[in-house]
Amino acid sequence: MDIKKLNIVMSYPVYWSKYQVMRDFVQNFYDAIGFIKWSDEFKYTFDKSNKILIMEAKQENFSYEWLLHIGASTKTENSDKYAGYFGEGFKIAALCAIRDHNWSVIMESRDWKLEVITVPDIIDGKTVESLSYKIWKTPNLKGSLLTITNVDESDYVIFLSALDSFYFPQNRLFGKKLWESDFGAVYTRSTHPINDHIPVTYKFGKKGLVLCGYQIRGTNPFPFVFCLHKYNNMDRERNTLYDFEVIDVILRLVTEVSPETAMIILEKMKVNWCSYPARKKNISVDGWSPVINALIRRIRTSDSVVNKFHNSYPYLLCVDRVDSISMRNRRHQALVWAKTEMPEYKMVKNSFSLIGYRFLEDVCDERGGFVDEIRRPDDIENNAFDIMNSIVDTVCKDFFMLDSIPEPLIITNEKVICQGMANVIKIKENKVNKIGQKIRYRHNNIYLLEKEFQSGKFYEALTTYLHELCHMFGGDSSASFSHSLTVVMEIVMKNHILLDIKKKEWDDLFNVGVRQ
């Protein structure tokens, strides 16, 4: 028997959780066996009554000298092949096992057996406990054994989680294999739950998994297991990946997958089909946008997959990012038109045009959906606008706080869906109306449909006009716009006597006037 001190004092300031310790013990076997033979060569038993966990490599063995030195490892020549290569895993795991978790550790292979112990040592006249191995000769053993004692059932569950964290096709967290190469692999996720010991990327929950260098490092929000084999393993702690790191790993993978696999992944990312990089404080946050783009480029390489995608999703229209008021106004018109004329269509980002989808604005323009045919109002229409403005000035003056009346224009294109439209410009000054709502835009023009200007159409024209005026508070989908529209309608409807008078003026105007 021999005692080997490792020159690691037991007060060494490192703490590994039970999961980290179990993971590193398993990793020693995994790196020796490899994922191809893993399910056949790695075995384990758990004696619940005696609290003994035994891990076994049936064929692999090695010299205990590799366990003596920090930085020494049998994996040095293939440092990028499996989960780690620092050579310190067994030593630090053993230290934390006996010091922090009250486990005992015995390792044996070939003709040797060692037990992890502590022995007193003297450093600068002070007595310290040093991590050590008690080693003795044994009959030659085929394979290698690691025995951990004082392991209870909850510890055994942690061990199984550590086992799940490594890449091998039979992993119970993996479903169907979709694609694999030396670069990586993609699987569907099985129905087996991800427990609390597996590294979980907080923002993405426990739906899908991400493996880097053959080991789980985080999760993703889709029902897939993304495995990037070619990964820089210099992260010695192997901490959980942040959300942006997960996205980067997936992006690297999807640039390599088959077109068929790309389509399967893209289908499950449907919620992100119209995603563009977010802009925060002049910094572009890519999110899932680059991943969507990469998947589309992979699909594009196969005509058959492109055709299959079109057959599955015939109703898609591309939309570019809007960066100006004029583009936003045009987009609004096209969306209003599409909502009525093409309600089955879904809007997707511009990269879908690479596989043959058309842009929303092009289709809208082709079918006459834009407010391109306009003219100035005639005398009768100007008088009709005066009637509506007199109502605004009488009952809504403090609400709208108009510096000037927007220039009115008439829409003559009968194919357009909208009853009216506002051309607005964002204002910089801090302007708030009497109920505390911030005025965000100034009107240049308000457009109303030509057919609104006739007898009997007073209320339709007035509500459309008020609707367009309310866009000074925000766009159609904004809460401030919706609130302002509700408030102004309440104000106007309370003045029903005035409305009755103005309705009669309106009808008289068009009954007297000649409308061709």
Same domain, 12 and 135: yes
At 382 the pLDDT is 93
At 283 the pLDDT is 45
Query: Residue 54's pLDDT band (boundaries 50, 70, 90)?
Result: very high
Q: Which residues contact 508 (CB under 8 A, 6 or more apart)?
A: none
Per DSSP, the three-state class of 110 is strand
Q: Could you tell me if 332 and 325 are in contact, meaning their C-beta atoms sit under 8 angstroms apart?
A: no
At 76 the pLDDT is 39
Query: Residue 70's pLDDT band (boundaries 50, 70, 90)?
Result: low
Same domain, 46 and 92: yes
457-482 burial by CB neighbour count: b if 16+ within 10 A, else e?
bbebbbbbbbbbbbbbbbeeeeebbe
- The Cα–Cα gap between 295 and 291 comes to 6
pTM to 2 decimal places: 0.77
Query: Residue 78's pLDDT band (boundaries 50, 70, 90)?
Result: very low
At 279 the pLDDT is 65
Neighbours of 62 (CB within 10 A): 14
| Segments forming the whole domain that contains residue 157 | 2-164
Structural domain includes residue 263: no
Instruction: Give one DSSP letter per residue of 491-506, joined into a string.
Output: HHHHTHHHHHHHHHHH
Same domain, 195 and 147: no
Neighbours of 97 (CB within 10 A): 23
- The Cα–Cα gap between 132 and 8 comes to 8
User: Which region, left, alpha or beta, applies to residue 474 given φ > 0 means left and ψ of -120 to 50 means alpha?
Assistant: left
Of residues 109 and 237, the one with the higher pLDDT is 109
Weakest-pLDDT range from 45-49, 119-123, 299-303: 119-123
Same domain, 65 and 99: yes
At 138 the pLDDT is 84
Structural domain includes residue 264: no
At 444 the pLDDT is 87
Query: Residue 383's pLDDT band (boundaries 50, 70, 90)?
Result: very high
- Is pLDDT at 75 greater than 70 in this prediction? no
CA triple 464-470-473, angle to 5 deg: 160
Same domain, 76 and 27: yes
Of residues 431 and 286, the one with the higher pLDDT is 431
At 237 the pLDDT is 58
- Is pLDDT at 83 greater than 80 in this prediction? no
Same domain, 226 and 100: no
Tens digit of each residue's pLDDT (9 = 90 or more) over 321-339: 888 877 877 888 888 888 8
Can you tell me the mean pLDDT for 346-350?
Answer: 96
Same domain, 397 and 476: yes
- Is pLDDT at 308 greater than 90 in this prediction? yes
Structural domain includes residue 273: no
Among 490, 435, 450, 444, residue whose Cα is nearest residue 466: 490
Same domain, 126 and 242: no
At 84 the pLDDT is 42
Structural domain includes residue 265: no
Same domain, 285 and 239: no
- Is pLDDT at 7 greater than 90 in this prediction? no
Q: Where are the alpha helices (DSSP H) in 68-199?
A: 89-100, 153-164
Query: Residue 377's pLDDT band (boundaries 50, 70, 90)?
Result: very high
Among 93, 84, 79, residue whose Cα is nearest residue 25: 93
Per DSSP, the three-state class of 34 is coil
Q: Could you tell me if 506 and 384 are in contact, meaning their C-beta atoms sit under 8 angstroms apart?
A: yes
Domain-ending residue, one of 164, 185, 200: 164
Q: How many helices (H) and strands (E) does the chain have?
A: 15, 18
Domain-ending residue, one of 164, 189, 213: 164
Percent of the chain at pLDDT exceeding 70: 92
Domain-ending residue, one of 349, 366, 383: 366
Number of domains composing the chain: 4
Same domain, 392 and 309: no
Tens digit of each residue's pLDDT (9 = 90 or more) over 465-486: 999 999 999 887 789 999 999 9
- The Cα–Cα gap between 401 and 437 comes to 11
- Which helix (H) or strand (E) is 358 found in, with range? none
- The Cα–Cα gap between 445 and 449 comes to 13
What mean pLDDT is reported for the chain?
88
Structural domain includes residue 169: no
Same domain, 29 and 160: yes
Structural domain includes residue 89: yes
Per-residue tokens: 220: 């993703």
Among 342, 424, 334, residue whose Cα is nearest residue 370: 334
Of residues 174 and 323, the one with the higher pLDDT is 174
Same domain, 194 and 230: yes
Tens digit of each residue's pLDDT (9 = 90 or more) over 200-228: 999 999 999 999 999 999 999 999 999 99
Structural domain includes residue 201: yes
The overall longest dimension of the chain from CA atoms, in Å, is: 118
Tens digit of each residue's pLDDT (9 = 90 or more) over 271-289: 999 988 876 554 445 789 9
Structural domain includes residue 102: yes
Burial class (CB in 10 A: 0-12, 13-18, 19+), 506: buried
